[in-house]
Amino acid sequence: MVLKLGVHVSISGGISNSVDNAVKIGSSAFQIFTRSPRQWKSKELTPDESDTFKEKLGNSPIGPESVADHMPYLPNLSAPASEMYEKSISVLTEEITRCNILGIPYLVIHLGSHLGQGPKNGINQLVNACTKSLDAYNDLGLPRNIVKILLENSAGQKNSIGSQVEEIQSIFDILGKNDYGLCMDTCHLFAAGYDLSNESGVSALFDNIDSHLGVENIKIIHLNDSKGDLGSNLDRHYHVGLGKIGVSGLRYLVNYKKFNKVPFIMETPIDSVRNDVDNIEFVRNFVNE
């Protein structure tokens, strides 16, 4: 099995540097922010920047189908009607546009927080935000949208949308699988109460996901261990195998047959415990030949 495995890489110094960064550490998949994740404003991509990115990616061993963009952190697509909500829709439209220009097929979005208005309201706002953003892209007169928006499960922090499979289904059923898919984060799943620490927990969860959502709609897996306990609702990523989930469940998941074409992206800290190269090597050794 050829494992598609990588990490979130930096675009510092120019967006095409992300490809060099990914290749340098032996990634066969990678994720980026196309802009600073902690600012509302972004600079428009120049044709030179996007051409260089596509050229470098084309000349690398990494296929474009193994690249994802992650939405910045500030937008809240489930927020009640407000200026902030409108700005969130604009950022999503910008990111859809940037992905299309860069030839990136997947855009991972957080499902946001209803800020106390209740999940039903939050879900309505989220669906409206996604639909409006795609419509806005389509109105720009650019080439047909090639980007799938991937709904990422949340850890279940207060007021958050989408920590439970059934709730994600209620969103995905409305949006449909043409323009949407799923990104599953293992840390978030564990924090939301799904026990991935052993084989039976992993297979029960993915049977559950399969019956509600269809596992074939999972296009990216965020492979993160968890610093927080099972059901803690804490979004604290940790190095694979060294957190509360541990090796055996995550090893089983990496080898799960239905995921043999799905890119695994680690979003783990770089610290004295392990760097990205060590993490990639550690998970590569999981693969059962």
| Number of amino acids touching Zn ion (CB under 5 A) | 2
Cβ-based nearer residue to Zn ion, 152 or 276: 152
Q: Is the Cβ of residue 109 or residue 205 nearer to Zn ion in the bound state?
A: 109
**Stretch 10-39 residues interacting with Zn ion (CB under 5 A):** none
The answer to whether 56 and 31 are in contact (CB under 8 A) is no
Query: Which residue, 167, 252, 172, is CA-closest to 219?
Result: 172
Query: Could you tell me which stretch among 45-53, 170-178, 229-237, 250-258 binds Zn ion (CB under 5 A)?
Result: 229-237
Q: Does 167 bind Zn ion (CB under 5 A)?
A: no
Q: Which is nearer to Zn ion, 42 or 255 (CB)?
A: 42
Helix (H, G, I), strand (E, B) or coil at 79: coil
Q: Return phi, psi of residue 218, to 5°.
A: -80, 115
Q: Which is nearer to Zn ion, 23 or 245 (CB)?
A: 245
CA–CA distance, 275 with 7 (Å, rounded to integer): 11
If the CB atoms of residues 8 and 274 are measured against Zn ion, the closer one turns out to be 8
**Rounded distance, CA 129 to CA 243, Å?**
35
Which CB, 49 or 235, lies closer to Zn ion?
235
Mapping DSSP to helix (H, G, I), strand (E, B) and coil, where does residue 226 land?
Answer: strand
Q: Which is nearer to Zn ion, 50 or 243 (CB)?
A: 243
Judged by CB under 5 A, the stretch of 44-52, 132-140, 150-158, 173-181 that binds Zn ion is 150-158
The distance of closest approach from Cβ of residue 16 to Zn ion in the complex, given in angstroms and rounded to an integer, is 23
CB of 61 to Zn ion, least distance (A): 25
Each residue 230-249 as x (binds Zn ion by CB under 5 A) or -, in order, gives: -----x--------------
158: CB partners within 8 A, 6+ apart: 113, 233
3-state secondary structure of 151: strand
Element at 47 (helix H, strand E): helix 47-58
Taking CA atoms, 115 is separated from 85, 86, 118, 119, 124, in Å, by 12, 15, 8, 9, 13
**Minimum gap (Å) between residue 59 Cβ and Zn ion:** 29
Yes or no: say if 283 and 264 are a contact pair by the CB < 8 Å rule: yes
Q: Is the CB of 70 or the CB of 251 nearer to Zn ion?
A: 70
**Shortest distance (Å) from residue 168 CB to Zn ion:** 14
Dist CA 5 CA 91 (whole Å): 28
> Considering the complex, what minimum distance in angstroms separates the CB of residue 108 from Zn ion?
6
Q: CA-to-CA distance for 263 and 222, rounded, in angstroms? A: 9
Q: What's the closest the beta carbon of residue 172 comes to Zn ion, in angstroms?
A: 17
185 and 108 Cβ atoms separated by less than 8 Å? no
- The nearest distance, CB 9 to Zn ion, in angstroms, is 15
Q: For Zn ion, which residue has the nearest CB? A: 235
Q: Pick the stretch among 34-42, 122-130, 147-155, 173-181 that binds Zn ion (CB under 5 A).
A: 147-155
Residue 276 sits in the site that holds Zn ion (CB under 5 A): no
> Applying CB under 5 A, which residues contact Zn ion?
152, 235
